[in-house]
Amino acid sequence: MKGFSLLETIVAISILTLALLGPLALAAFALRSASLSENQVIAFNLAEEGMEFVINKRDSNIFAGAGNWLEGLTNCQSANGCFVDVTNNSVQRCSANCPFLKRNSSSGLYNYASGPDTIFRRRTVLENVGSNQDERKVKVSVSWAERFGNRSFTLEHNIFKKR
């Protein structure tokens, strides 16, 4: 009875290897896509939360009859912008980089006070729109770094002083 020759064995191993590499590459791509998708959803929600905070702060100022409709948001009007901590209702000026958001493990909420650092940074900037003092463009940017590169998401919305 004859056995396999060395050449036949090498060809068989090559075919087996090629047959396994396709599904492994597909699985790696699927894992990468799942990680990216998860982070994009989180970034969108963090940006939306920051935007809602600014809109709520503007509305609260107007309803309270505050003299300045942007009271409490002046830190966001600088070039570096600000970071808003929704859980503590605070607005702090960013230096060159805003700090990393933390995630409270017991509540699951993102904040700047408790929990381990996450990969996300959120910056909020209020920009003048022309010479109109009753309108501001709000830009909330969330950036993060992952194994596959740096990513960011920016949400923009114009807010107005209501009369």
Query: Which pTM does this prediction carry?
Result: 0.80
**Number of folded domains in the chain?**
1
What average pLDDT does range 66-84 have in this prediction? Answer: 90
Percent residues over pLDDT 90 in the chain: 52
Instruction: Decide if 20 is inside a domain.
Output: yes
Percent residues over pLDDT 70 in the chain: 97
Instruction: Decide if 1 is inside a domain.
Output: no
* Residue numbers of the domain that contains 149: 6-160
Instruction: Decide if 130 is inside a domain.
Output: yes
Instruction: Decide if 109 is inside a domain.
Output: yes
Residue 66 C-beta-side C-alpha neighbours within 13 Å: 16
Q: Which two tokens stand for residue 127?
A: 């920009």
Backbone angles phi, psi at 137, to 5 degrees: -95, 125
